[in-house]
């Protein structure tokens, strides 16, 4: 039904999305929020009512079950489903949207539970089916991936004929006062950052050691507002689609800041095996160590209360226009405490939760049209980034020096 949205997943990111939908009542007339138990959706419902005076409806769904998601979609009749559960559920929710003819948005690409490998291929495989059904799937519409993809598309549209180099930089310069915690789902986060690192160079993927390896590649980058921060080369999923969709791209790297304390914790977890994703026998039954670890670590949503400091994410892009080569840096700064004041969440959940709501606005307002499966850089970046800015994440574009070809 026009103006109805269904959000699946009621963690840190789902909570921000529910608040932001409630703050856009002209677009979102009915908001449904579902998760695998009712406690978190109901807590969010209460907070949304308190802050914005909006009633949202909550539901239980096991999003691993296509039949359950189909039944929920049939009951709630959304125009768009925003998937903010875990990457494991991407395919079942996409399949349910296909069966019911409803648009689909997510913020992280599919991962099989038993293998720490994330890639777009299984979701891109839906392209023809979505085209035939006349519906849209927008993949990776968080901040990174998501806004970073739109930043590249915007710079290409506004300044360049071709883009040669992209360096994505992501600094969380905030502090939550815990000895170790992750800023989004611990299981997904630890799987991501402990992987071998890849970057794109002259049509090939170059493999380098993971961030906690003594031979990892890192350098000090001077972030706007946050200042100099040690930034580590990391594989991040937006590189897979950008490498395909940016014409003439020669090199692309992704850099993220990590503190020495965080890396030490990761090394210890790896060495004692508590971050393993394969089952081990414990008291006669199999357990997955990383899932047990997740239960011990702070819930990322709970970090928000005492979080302070900034998060800065942006793209340094070198391109050519009429044979002239130059570099632009486009970035956004968010403030943990400010996000908490507005929606009760920390900045990492906020930066991931605002953009998918804006992507839903683009679809529901008929700004993004077309049928098929899209990554964000394939869609018009201007109205999307305008909406993202209006909803709390403005950007700035400055001239910049290109980062050196060889680092570390």
Q: Please report, as ranges, the residues that interact with ligand NDP according to CB under 6 A.
A: 9-14, 35-37, 40, 61-64, 84-87, 89, 107-108, 142-146, 184-185, 188, 300-301, 352
Cross-strand partners of 275? none
164 or 339: CB nearest ligand NDP: 339
185 or 318: CB nearest ligand NDP: 185
66 or 243: CB nearest ligand NDP: 66
109 or 327: CB nearest ligand NDP: 109
- The least distance separating ligand NDP from the CB of residue 10, rounded to whole angstroms, comes to 4
- The least distance separating ligand NDP from the CB of residue 325, rounded to whole angstroms, comes to 30
Residue with smallest beta-carbon separation from ligand NDP = 11
- The least distance separating ligand NDP from the CB of residue 161, rounded to whole angstroms, comes to 29
Question: Measured between alpha carbons, how far is residue 191 from residues 59, 110, 265 in Å?
Answer: 29, 13, 14
CB 10 within 8 A of CB 44: yes
14 or 210: CB nearest ligand NDP: 14
Angstrom distance (rounded) from CA 124 to CA 265:
35
Provide the residue count of the chain: 408
CB 345 within 8 A of CB 334: no
- The least distance separating ligand NDP from the CB of residue 322, rounded to whole angstroms, comes to 34
10 or 252: CB nearest ligand NDP: 10
Radius of gyration of the chain (CA): 20
- The least distance separating ligand NDP from the CB of residue 215, rounded to whole angstroms, comes to 27
88 or 326: CB nearest ligand NDP: 88
Cross-strand partners of 207? 198
CB 358 within 8 A of CB 384: yes
35 or 275: CB nearest ligand NDP: 35
- Phi, psi (deg, nearest 5) at residue 262: -60, -45
Q: DSSP 3-state assignment of 156?
A: helix
- The least distance separating ligand NDP from the CB of residue 176, rounded to whole angstroms, comes to 14
Tell which residue, 91, 125, 138, 84, has the closest CA to residue 111: 91
81 or 84: CB nearest ligand NDP: 84
- The least distance separating ligand NDP from the CB of residue 378, rounded to whole angstroms, comes to 16
14 or 289: CB nearest ligand NDP: 14
Angstrom distance (rounded) from CA 93 to CA 78:
13
Q: How many CA atoms lie within 13 A of 208 on its CB side?
A: 21
Contacts of 323 (CB under 8 A, 6+ apart): none
Distant-in-sequence contacts of 271-280, Cβ < 8 A, 24+ apart: 275/190, 275/194, 277/113, 277/114, 277/115, 277/116, 277/191, 278/114
Contacts of 33 (CB under 8 A, 6+ apart): 6, 7, 10, 14, 18, 41, 44, 45, 56, 57, 58, 59
Tell which residue, 12, 47, 11, 48, has the closest CA to residue 31: 48
Angstrom distance (rounded) from CA 228 to CA 373:
38
């Amino acid at each position: 039904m026009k103006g109805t949205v269904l959000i699946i997943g009621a963690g840190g990111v789902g909570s921000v999305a529910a608040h932001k939908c409630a703050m856009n009542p002209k677009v979102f007339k009915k908001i449904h929020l579902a998760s695998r138990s009712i406690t978190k959706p109901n807590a969010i419902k209460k907070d949304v009512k308190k802050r914005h005076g909006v009633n949202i409806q909550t539901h239980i769904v096991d999003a691993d079950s296509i039949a359950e998601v189909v039944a929920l979609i049939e009951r709630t009749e959304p125009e768009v489903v925003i998937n903010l559960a875990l990457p494991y559920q991407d395919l079942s929710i996409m399949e349910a949207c296909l069966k019911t003819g409803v648009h689909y948005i997510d913020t992280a690409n599919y991962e099989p539970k038993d293998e720490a490998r994330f890639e777009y291929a299984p979701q891109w495989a839906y392209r023809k089916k979505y085209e035939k059904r006349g519906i849209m799937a927008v993949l990776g519409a968080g901040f990174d991936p998501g806004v970073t993809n739109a930043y590249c598309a915007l710079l290409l549209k506004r300044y360049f004929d071709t883009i040669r180099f992209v360096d994505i930089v992501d600094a969380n310069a905030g502090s939550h006062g815990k000895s170790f915690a992750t800023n989004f789902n611990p299981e997904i986060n630890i799987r991501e950052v402990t992987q071998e690192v890849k970057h794109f160079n002259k049509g090939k993927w170059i493999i380098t050691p993971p961030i906690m390896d003594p031979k990892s590649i890192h350098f000090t980058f001077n972030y706007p507002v946050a200042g100099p921060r040690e930034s580590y080369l990391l594989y991040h999923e937006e590189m897979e689609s950008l490498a395909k969709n940016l014409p003439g791209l020669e090199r692309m790297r992704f850099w993220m800041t990590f503190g020495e304390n965080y890396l030490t914790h990761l090394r210890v977890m790896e060495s004692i095996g508590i971050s393993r994703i394969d089952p081990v026998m414990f008291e006669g039954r199999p357990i997955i160590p990383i899932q047990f670890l997740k239960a011990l670590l702070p819930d990322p949503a709970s970090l928000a209360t005492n979080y302070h400091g900034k998060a800065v994410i942006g793209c340094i892009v070198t391109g050519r226009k009429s044979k002239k080569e130059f570099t632009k840096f486009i970035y956004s700064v968010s403030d943990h405490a400010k996000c908490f004041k507005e929606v009760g969440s920390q900045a990492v959940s906020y930066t991931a939760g605002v953009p998918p709501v804006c992507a839903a606005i683009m679809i529901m307002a008929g700004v993004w049209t077309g049928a098929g499966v899209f990554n964000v850089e394939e869609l018009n970046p201007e109205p999307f980034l305008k909406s993202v800015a209006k909803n709390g994440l403005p950007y700035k574009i400055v001239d910049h020096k290109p980062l050196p070809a060889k680092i570390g």
